[in-house]
Structure formats: C-alpha cells, structure tokens
Amino acid sequence: MKKRSKLKHSIYLLLALAMLVYALPRINFSGGWTWASGFGAAWAVFAFLIIGSHLHYLLGVDEEKQRALDRIRKAKLQQWQLKWPEETQQRQENV
C-alpha cells in the first residue's frame, strides 16, 4: 500500500512539473502587471506549492511524526475499548 501511494505522488509530481515547464515560458511579464500575468504568477505559485507538497511526502519528512500520531491513536483506542464495558455495565445497572 505504501508503494502505491508513493507511486501516485511521484506521478502527480511529474505532472505538476510538466505543466509548470510548459506554462512558465508562455507567461508574459514584459508588458507589466496585467490580469493575465497576475493570473499566471498565481498559477505558478500554486503549482510550486503542489510540487513542494509532493516532494515533502516523497522525502518522508514527517514519517516520524506520523508514527507518533499512530501510537497515540492506538493508545486512545485501547483506552476507549477498556472504558466501553464499564459504560455498558453502568447503563445496565441504571435500567
């Protein structure tokens, strides 16, 4: 499952890079700041953000953080499961 996810992010990264390489030469900034050049600049910024997010995932910058969150989730789930029989027992006593 992890390999498929990394493959998906790799493909999306390559697509975003290809779109950026195709679009950047076509954005015209020589005529000053027009609506078209402003839109092109905003589009390029969003494309760089997308590329950065995929690189962040592929490089595994936050894998340690994800492991810590998984441990916390498992601990909370165990606490909840231990608490559940107590709650059902209290409900049965109140009825």
Structural domain span for residue 17: 7-26+36-59
Supply 51's token pair.
């590329």
Per the domain annotation, does 1 fall within a domain? no
Task: Give me the amino acid identity at 7.
Answer: L
Longest alpha-carbon distance in the chain: 79
Are 46 and 79 in the same domain?
no
Question: Exposed/middle/buried for 54, CB within 10 Å: 0-12, 13-18, 19+?
Answer: buried
Are both 14 and 53 inside the same structural domain? yes
Shared-domain flag, residues 17 and 52: yes
Same domain flag for 81 and 69: yes
Average pLDDT value for residue range 31-42: 87
Does residue 2 belong to any structural domain of this protein? no
Please indicate, yes or no, whether residues 43 and 79 belong to a single structural domain of this protein: no
**Structure token pair of residue 41:** 């600049």
Q: Convert the pLDDT of each residue in 49-94 to its tens digit.
A: 999 999 988 887 777 788 888 999 999 998 888 877 766 666 666 6
pLDDT digits (tens, 9 = 90+) for 9-28: 999 999 999 999 999 888 88
**The pLDDT value given to residue 42:** 93
